[in-house]
A and B are shown apart, each in its own frame.
Chain A
Amino acid sequence: MIAESMYQELILEHYKHPQGRGLRDPFDAEVHHVNPTCGDEITMRVKLGDGDKVEDVSYDGQGCSISQAAASVLHELATGSTVGETLAVVEEFTRLMQGRGQVEPDEDVLGDAVAFAGVAKFPARVKCALLAWMAYKDALARSAS
């Protein structure tokens, strides 16, 4: 069925074994985002270094497999990249999620995050997938200010 394609092995793997979970010091900004319709929540910290480098993305939260796996994948993708590179991923990921399953994902930009393509067919779950990414974007904005 369709949902089976949503629960990709990679998503389940990240849900069961989240990468980089737990809030760490030092950090430049901390944000807390919630999804009021389902109660998913995330607290996220971002530490930036020289040359626009993302030194660490740490997080803690609770929620469904999609929201929690998204945070884990984001941690892997963002840590060690530059702010510019990660913003490109945020943009492409958002475009994919809001595309109602009609958007062809750019795998070169998305990397592992392409595993979430199936989520876009379930409008009720799109917010779950976007929760961590929106929190990250917010944390970046606050780090800069």
Chain B
Amino acid sequence: MDTAFDVERIRKDFPVLSRELPGGRPLVYLDSGNSSQKPVQVIETMREHLAVHYANVGRAMHVLGAESTEAYEAAREKVAAFVGAPSRDEIVFTKNASEALNLVAYAFGNPINEDPRFTMGPGDEIVISEMEHHSNIVPWQLLARRTGATLKWFSVTDEGRLDLSNLDELVTERTKIVSIAHQSNVLGTVNPVARVLERVRQAGALMMLDASQSVPHKPVDVTALDVDFLAFTGHKAVGPSGIGVLWARAELLDAMPPFLGGGEMIEAVWMDRSTYAPAPHKFEAGTPPIVEAVGLGAAVDYLSSVGMDAIAAHERELTRYALEALGEVPGLRVVGPTDLQDRGGTVSFTLEGIHPHDVGQIMDDEFGVAVRVGHHCARPLHLRFGIPATTRASFYLYNTPAEIDALVRGLHHVRKVFA
């Protein structure tokens, strides 16, 4: 691929972007933060695997079994390289980011595990934030309920930043785990990981990042971040749904108890007990999403061939353009940072006197503009801002300034309908 970022050429890789919607409307897809579209490279790789390489992985002693296993493990290797993991054994395939977060939450307070980093009971504390997606809230609520531990959280400032003013009181020697979003799925805010991590290390706690909204959009290197766990999902990163990733330090994966029990996660089984396979297989019970993993491998290959730096720069320009254009729509209020500092390409907003569901319906039906409306699985964040819902436009490598113009035209029309 050329070094220059050629969005028209990229768009040709995504078949759906050239389809028409009923009534001859072109599609303007501004909902990649929800789920991204797929390039032909991913579709073809998955089709080919299903067509001529498919068999179960890790347990079939024949040519197809070997080819399928090789492709599955090669995908693990690609994902490891993509996020800068020191070893492919630190990559656990899950079904999505939610499962990756739950897997870590279930490692704590499990009576079969005595490692002091993972014990949990009354007096221990878990720290999250008010800007989390439900998938980084509910697993920790459940953990607190199971163990009697206390759940605490960072507040969010009016500007949509993590409020670190009480960092030292929130994260203490009682804290066992801090889990926050790398980038907010509503605000677009990129959180100050290094600053939080410094305090987490002082407190002797562990740190997890929900990187579902960062890994698809910019270079993410787990070694440079230096956190302990990181979760993301394939379907937001031009890959298929049904495949997610947990990265964790090898020594932590070794110290953690298994999550689900089943085939391929064992070493030996007797009727009354079992020993377990080493990580990552210890955490991959049952037949995994094979074709989906292979598809994710193709997805990270695709993103790397375009270049994550180039994608981040493209999205930054789109975000700059969108913030400016949206700022001129009367009655529109952006919920989240209005500058480009530590901010990704997700812009949520309210339109005075018009409910987001009405905005979304008219945008879709009259302009073919797909945005997300609602609380985006972040209800506590919306409660914090005193609003029931927002309209969210989220950008990716295939979006163009002309599509943001279409969004703005649509918003002007929505205002006219409800004037």
Q: Which residues of A contact B (CB under 8 A)?
A: 1-4, 6-7, 12, 15-16, 37-40, 62-66, 122, 125, 128
Contacts and interface: CB of A to CB of B under 8 A. Distances in A.
Contacts of B172: none
Interface string B356-378: 11100110111000000011000
Nearest to A128: B357
B358 A1 contact: no
Interface string B388-401: 11000000000000
Contacts of B379: 39
Nearest to B375: A39
A7 B354 CA distance: 13
Interface in B338-358: 354-358
Given A3-B362, A62-B388, A125 B357 contact: yes
A39 B355 CA distance: 11
B270 interface: no
A7 B417 contact: yes
Contacts of A2: 365
A16 B417 CA distance: 11
Contacts of A62: 388
Given A64-B355, A125-B357, A3 B374 contact: no
Given A1-B23, A7-B417, A39-B374, A63 B388 contact: yes
Contact of B358 (A37, A39, A64): A64
29 contacts: A1-B23, A2-B365, A3-B364, A3-B365, A4-B366, A7-B362, A7-B417, A12-B417, A12-B418, A16-B418, A38-B374, A38-B389, A39-B375, A39-B379, A39-B382, A39-B388, A39-B389, A63-B357, A63-B388, A64-B355, A64-B356, A65-B355, A65-B418, A66-B357, A66-B358, A122-B361, A125-B357, A125-B361, A128-B357
Interface of B is mostly: helix
Contacts of A64: 355-358
The 5 closest A-B pairs by CB, nearest first: A3-B365, A64-B355, A64-B357, A39-B388, A1-B365
Contacts of A38: 357, 374, 389
A62 B362 CA distance: 19
B282 to A, nearest CB: 36
Interface residues of B, number: 19
A2 B375 CA distance: 25
Interface string B91-111: 000000000000000000000
A3 B355 contact: no
Nearest to B366: A1
A3 B375 contact: no
Contacts of B23: 1
B377 to A, nearest CB: 11
A16 B365 CA distance: 22
Contact of A3 (B356, B366, B382, B418): B366
A63 B355 contact: yes
A62 B375 CA distance: 14
A12 B361 CA distance: 14
Given A3-B364, A128-B357, 12 more contacts: A3-B362, A7-B358, A7-B362, A12-B418, A15-B418, A16-B418, A39-B382, A39-B389, A64-B357, A65-B354, A65-B355, A125-B357
Residue of A38, A63, A122 with most chain B CB atoms under a 10 A cut-off: A38
B78 to A, nearest CB: 36
A69 to B, nearest CB: 11
Nearest to B359: A64
Contacts of A66: 357-358
A3 B418 CA distance: 13
A65 B358 contact: yes
Contacts of B418: 12, 15-16, 65
Interface in B377-413: 379, 382, 388-389
Contacts of B355: 63-65
Contacts of B389: 38-39
Contacts of B357: 38, 63-64, 66, 125, 128
Contacts of A15: 418
B388 A3 contact: no
